[in-house]
Structure 1
Amino acid sequence: MPNRVRVLTVSDSDRVELERRARDRGAPARVAERARIVLLSAEGLSGPQIAERLGCSEPTVVKWRGQYAGAGLAGLEDASRPGGPRSVLTDEAVCEILAATVTPPPESLAAQGITHWSSRRLADWLRRAKGIAVSHDSISRLWRRFCLAPHRVEGFKFSTDPQLDAKVKDVVGLYLAPPDNAVVVCVDEKSQCQALERTQPILPMRPGIPERATHDYARHGVTCLFAALEVATGKVTDACYPRHRHQEFLRFLKKVAAAYPGQQLHVVLDNYATHKHPQVKDWLATNPRITLHFTPTGCSWLNLVECFFSVITRQAIRRGSFTSVRELTAAIGAFIDGWNNHPRPFTWTKHADEILASIRRAKTKTNVLTDH
């Protein structure tokens, strides 16, 4: 006769706390694991079932189930451990560690392909090169204390457009003080929208477990999303084409013009070559009610339609599974139809002078860093 599963009894207050621990992404993994063991035990799962679901050993399940049964939440805490007092680094050692941290690894390490420090590598180098005995844990604590993160890297880009100031003032002026009796739209293409089909079904979210999808997928082609965001209302005019040449751009520009018949149109867009093609210029010459305003080179963040692209990518494209380009295009169209039923404009708040001053400050700081 099989053994009966021992079901833990968990009070409502304990359940709330355990669910909080299981969801807390900032907590140590061991804390979340213990909470999930207790919660699954309360649901009636056996030890082997819990171990298989959480990827831990059965003895671990038995231990923490017993700890909770005997002492409640207090039983899930780490027991105090014996050990000597923590060593204290001298001010000189701290200065050496920080100076080494903000300096690229020496040539001997660079020759091995090392691009940045890890706490263990720095501890080893300090011991050998400087005679400083320090643990990698101590280095990690110092990095957290002084907000240093050698493993992280962020990108930056400064526009080299000689007309930077004029273009920023022109575009921001349209956002903050649009012309009377005119419509301002922001236009761009989101190229390479891939129809990716996950090779296995997407697993739904559960308490303590986020939605899960396989890393591998099948490719079924790409499409290019053209979008025109009306700045005042947030309404979007869209089209999907298989390519993004000047022919497709001109076709889309005509669609935007037809959406606003007889109105003055001010179109904000980037410096992509198709936007300046001779055929586009010829068509604009016969449609003087449409005026193009180009953002500075390398300043796509100045185009408000990028905000919409971010939204549709996060909410409709990235986490989807599409068996064909047609299915992807239909999903994009359905999302935009729903968006246009209740459009939400993106509000630009910063003045051009503030933006340009911020750029100048960033350039000055960068020059100081590169000079040293």
Structure 2
Amino acid sequence: MERVLDIYKRPLNPLYPVVCMDESPKQLIAETRNAVPASPGQPARYDYEYRRCGTCNIFLASEPLAGKRMVKITEHRTKQDWALFLQDIAEQYPEAEKIVLVMDNLNTHTPGSLYETYSPEEAKTLWDRFEFIYAPKHGSWLNMAEIELSVLTRQCLSRRIETIEEVRMEVKAWENARNNKNAKVNWQFTAEDARIKLVRLYPTLEG
């Protein structure tokens, strides 16, 4: 936890960008009946019945200090999907000496996923572009990408969407609009704060 919090204290540095990455499933849902259109003084109304159309996966990476984020919608959440998304992130920072990547410690988020996707030479080259920083178990709240995912869900995806193509279109529009606003995360929680507010997580020393 303290390692992640110390990384968040670093100033903006294009050579060592701090990027947060997270992922989340999105259920695809279709309406079974036509909605009642909005009218003066009345919002549109939707029937409670719906039809499940499968799921898709949302990969999101954000650089909080720069106010940038990128989102990729995939059909699955496999090791290969994650490895391909890492390549997308690396291409956004061609001049960076090392990309500091904060993420949850999922079983797909390992260097092995790169070697299962690329040749050994390509996997090692991509791995060397990153420094992996894992949020602690039960500490996903430390990952600032969760904040961006919450905003994405609230502003764009908190409704029924039937197809992955529509999700991709809507999310791309949201990504462009939010990047144009240069929206940033004002993170203020520090390791010093944690030692006070989360004292129960620290061992008690006797003597």
* TM tier relative to shorter chain: 0.7 to 0.9
Q: Does residue 292 of the first structure (1) align with residue 132 of the second (2)?
A: yes
Query: How far, CA to CA, are the matches of 2:8 and 2:134 in structure 1?
Result: 13
Query: How far, CA to CA, are the matches of 2:137 and 2:145 in structure 1?
Result: 16
Percent identity reads 27
Q: Does residue 247 of the first structure (1) align with residue 91 of the second (2)?
A: no
Cα distance, 1:279–1:213 mapped onto 2, change above 3 Å? same
1:262, distance to aligned residue in structure 2 (A): 2.5
AA partner of residue 134 (structure 2): F
Q: Which TM-score applies when normalising by structure 1? A: 0.48
Q: Does residue 324 of the first structure (1) align with residue 155 of the second (2)?
A: no
- Structure 1 counterpart of 2:178: 339
- Structure 2 counterpart of 1:221: 54
Residues 180-189 or 254-263, more deviating: 180-189
- Structure 2 counterpart of 1:232: 65
Query: How far, CA to CA, are the matches of 2:66 and 2:137 in structure 1?
Result: 27
CA RMSD of aligned residues (A): 2.5
Q: Does residue 175 of the first structure (1) align with residue 8 of the second (2)?
A: yes
Select the residue among 357, 367, 371 that pairs with 2:196. 357
SS of equivalent residue, structure 1 residue 243: coil
Alignment check: 8 A CA contact 1:220 1:325 kept? no
Aligned residues: 194
Alignment check: 8 A CA contact 1:223 1:243 kept? yes
Alignment check: 8 A CA contact 2:100 2:133 kept? yes
1:234, distance to aligned residue in structure 2 (A): 2.2
AA partner of residue 278 (structure 1): G
AA partner of residue 104 (structure 2): D
Select the residue among 146, 164, 169 that pairs with 1:306. 146
In structure 2, the gaps of 5 or more residues are none
1:286, distance to aligned residue in structure 2 (A): 2.6
Task: List aligned pairs for 1:150-169, cutoff 5 A.
Answer: 168-169=1-2
Choose 1 or 2 for highest CA Rg.
1
Alignment check: 8 A CA contact 1:271 1:296 kept? yes
Alignment check: 8 A CA contact 1:175 1:231 kept? no
More helix by share: 1
Task: List aligned pairs for 1:15-26, cutoff 5 A.
Answer: none
Alignment check: 8 A CA contact 1:224 1:242 kept? yes
Cα distance, 1:278–1:354 mapped onto 2, change above 3 Å? same
AA partner of residue 248 (structure 1): D
Query: How far, CA to CA, are the matches of 2:65 and 2:71 in structure 1?
Result: 17
Q: Which TM-score applies when normalising by structure 2? A: 0.82
In structure 1, the gaps of 5 or more residues are 1-167, 365-372
Query: How far, CA to CA, are the matches of 1:261 and 1:197 in structure 2?
Result: 40
